[in-house]
């Protein structure tokens, strides 16, 4: 089953690994970890309770910005 839920601090080490595996030029670790907290609306996607991806977003008033999105390579291209 696929679920989308908030990305929490305990998820960050795995999300960082997915970031490095998914992008030819990943964010630096400092940038990745600095885009967390109250000013962000970050999500994770899980399949059968296994995190396979995430989105780093920010909501300000009625505007949303997607800063980063990544899916683990083993799960890419599967619809």
pLDDT in tens, 10-23: 999 999 999 999 99
Domains and CATH numbers, the chain: 2-75 (3.40.630.30)
pTM equals 0.91
Q: Which residues contact 37 (CB under 8 A, 6 or more apart)?
A: none
Place of tokens 């991806």: 53
**Residues 75, 32: Cα–Cα separation, whole Å:** 21
78 has pLDDT over 90 = no
């Amino acid at each position: 089953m696929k679920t989308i839920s908030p990305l929490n601090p305990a998820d960050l080490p795995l999300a960082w690994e997915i970031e490095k595996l998914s992008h030819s030029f990943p964010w630096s670790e400092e940038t990745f970890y600095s885009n967390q907290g109250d000013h962000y609306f970050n999500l994770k996607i899980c399949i059968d309770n296994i995190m396979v991806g995430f989105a780093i977003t920010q909501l300000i008033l009625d505007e949303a910005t997607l800063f980063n999105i990544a899916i683990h390579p083993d799960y890419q291209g599967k619809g």
